[in-house]
Structures are given as C-alpha cells and as structure tokens.
Chain A
Amino acid sequence: MKPRPPTLRDRRRYVLAACAPEYREPDPKTLYYTVLDAATALYGDAATAAMQISVMAGVRGYAILRCRRGEEWRMITACATVTSLNGSRIALHPVAVSGTMHALRRRIRSIPEPSDGEEVMLEGEPYCVRQCSGQNIDLIKKSIKNQKTLYFTQKDREEF
C-alpha cells in the first residue's frame, strides 16, 4: 500500500521506559506482546487497538515504545502492570515522552555490563554478587531451579 502523505498520517508519541533490573535487555518482539497483553487485560481490545502500540527498540536497561498521540498515559499505565517478561520478573518505569525517537535516545544513559563478583553465603545458601550501578548489588542464588534474586546495597553487604 502506498504510504500516506504526512498530513494524513496519525500523530505518534514515543515513550522511553527504563527497565528494572537495569541489566535486562528486552527483546522488542517479546516486549510488544507483553505490553499488548497488559493493555488488553486493562482496557479491552477496542481501546488497545486505538492505542496503536508498538515497540521500536530495546537496549540494555531501556525500551522505546510508540503509541497514538493522546494515548500515551494509557499505554504507560498498561506498562505499569507488566510484571514479567519471558518468565523473569521485570518492571517498566516511564522516563520521558516525546514526539521523536531522536529526543529520547539522548536521554538514554549507558549502563555498564554487570559484573558478577565473588560468592557470599546468606542464610546458609550461596549467592553470586552482581554489581549494579551506584551502590546497588543484586544477589543471585546459585541453583538450577527457582532462581532467586535479592536486591541489596553495598552497606547491607558490609553488615552481613
């Protein structure tokens, strides 16, 4: 189909969402279906279709989503109800809304590769320490099944 002229196109808004944990790099296709499911569960099929949600990009710690202008807060509310992606826990927090992706890309802060450090024992179980940005550390339980993560800070670790 021939593209519409710019004056006949729908106006869009782009939303930059920060992922938590910050080292997650969301796959755009999986994130699209997850957000679409959340929006459908919250607002129904008709309202979700009117939002015209799509996921433009996913980089480490961030995702850029697109929707029709005027529907951005509904999409952000739907994103707030996303709790898992591919079976692991995630949260999406809105950072900025803009009419261009270029403006949002400037807001993306580069997140360093998480470094897995030494092992610690907590309540008799071994945890791997993952250093995040700032003072934050994530303790990832070393097991094959039921992988559990604890969210601590360096000061907490000093008090173990």
Chain B
Amino acid sequence: MNFADACMHPYPHGDSSVRRLAHEAAARGYDGIVCVGISPPPDTPVRVIPAAVVAGKTFKDISVQVRRESRSADLILACAGDAGLNRALLSYRGIHILKGVHAAPRRAFDHICARNAADSEIAVDISLQPLIGSRGAARQKVLQCYADILRLQRRYGFRLAISSDARSVLDLRHVRVIPHLCGLFGMEPAETTAALGTVGRLLHPDMPVEVLE
C-alpha cells in the first residue's frame, strides 16, 4: 500500500458506512484505509484494515485493552497522554500507532518518546482533522505541535503516519492536497509520501534476509 489513511471512524461512530468511505477513498487516490471498530466488508475498491483505538489514564488500563483488542484488530492505535504514559506506550510493542499527540499536554512528546518510538518501530500519527476543522489559535497550536514532532522525527527517524480522522466522507481530502496541507508545518513532499505509506510498512515490516540454499 502506497497511500493509506491511518484512521477513519465509519458508521456508527461517524455518518458514513465503510463501503462509502472506501469508494470515496478510492476516488481520492488512496489504496487502503484503516477503519476503527468494524469488520471489513469483502467487496471494497480499496483494502480496509480493521483497527482499534485504546485509551486510558494508566499504562495498565491500556495494556489490558491492547491484549483484548489485538485478537480482532490488525492495527492498534493508542491515544497519547502525559509524558510518562507516552514513554511507556512507546516502549510497548503491542501498539502500532500513537495518536492524538496534538491533544496531549504540552511537552508530552519529548526526545525520549522520540527515541522509544524509533526503537520500538511505533508510528506517530499526524491527524489532518485539526488542520482542516479548526481556526485561529487552536490551529496555530496544532501547527506548532506538528512542527515540533517533525523536528524530532528528522533527528531520531521514527515513523510518521497521516490520518484524516474522518467521521464522514466530507472529511476526506485528495492525496494530492495532503503534501500541501502538511507543508503548512514544514513537511517536505517526500516525507509526506513516506508517511502515507507507513500503514503498509507496519502491516508488512522489513524482516531479516533469509537465504534459501
């Protein structure tokens, strides 16, 4: 998968069905979508990856949820919390993507979190929803947060994932527009393309080379 959206919320969490989201995603240039809380229907134009979002105050709460959800979901997305929780989550290989860093307290994602994310191969989610849906000071805060994450990513080399956090087909944006939206906080087009391919690399990680005879 070259272009996959890292998080969508179909009906009943949102107002669009999985099939409709898949059709719209195909029309907008995606070849895969990650949908939360559903089982994927068989006949969709793009690959639908079932996922679960886990959230909690403590690492124990989250690890219990991860063990329960990992039976049915291919990808586990954990909501970010304070710095201590984020450091613990990013050292735990049961989760795949850390989301909601923009909504976490200030300095909740620091250089230690960045190093842990790089070591554990956990991606950090860049949600486009606050860039599209908010205005003024709220959007400026999100842009600052994403610029900060990008600076750490360039230093430590952890993975970034891009999600629309779409609850409706009207929240989806075309793949061609995403590099320009990400350019608002200094992300280069090549970095955006790599981030859009992160979901595929999380599902099929690079394995050690096996020599056959």
Contacts and interface: CB of A to CB of B under 8 A. Distances in A.
Contact of A93 (B11, B28, B139, B181): B28
B136 A153 contact: no
A94 B177 contact: yes
Interface string B130-153: 011101100100000000000000
Interface residues of B, number: 30
Interface string A25-69: 000000000000000011000000000000000000000000000
B15 A148 contact: yes
Interface residues of A, number: 27
Contacts of B176: 94
Given A76-B180, A80-B132, A155-B43, A149 B19 contact: no
A134 B168 CA distance: 18
A149 B177 CA distance: 25
Q: Is chain A's interface secondary structure helix, strand, loop, or mixed overall?
A: mixed
Interface in A102-153: 134-136, 148-153
A151 B177 contact: no
Given A150-B11, A150-B15, A151-B168, A80 B23 contact: no
B20 interface: yes
A98 interface: no
A41 B43 CA distance: 41
Interface in A57-100: 73-74, 76-77, 80-81, 83, 89-91, 93-94
Interface in B108-164: 131-133, 135-136, 139
Contacts of B132: 80-81, 83
B190 interface: no
B65 interface: no
B23 A153 contact: yes
A10 interface: no
A58 to B, nearest CB: 18
Interface in B43-98: 43
B2 interface: no
Given A91-B173, A93-B174, A153-B23, 8 more contacts: A20-B170, A91-B172, A93-B173, A94-B176, A150-B15, A150-B17, A151-B15, A153-B20
Interface of A: 20-21, 41-42, 73-74, 76-77, 80-81, 83, 89-91, 93-94, 134-136, 148-153, 155-156
Q: Please provide the 8 A-B residue pairs with the shortest distance between their CB atoms, ordered closest to farther.
A: A151-B16, A77-B180, A156-B17, A91-B170, A153-B19, A152-B17, A151-B20, A80-B177
Interface of B: 11, 15-17, 19-20, 23-24, 28, 41, 43, 131-133, 135-136, 139, 168-174, 176-177, 180-181, 183-184
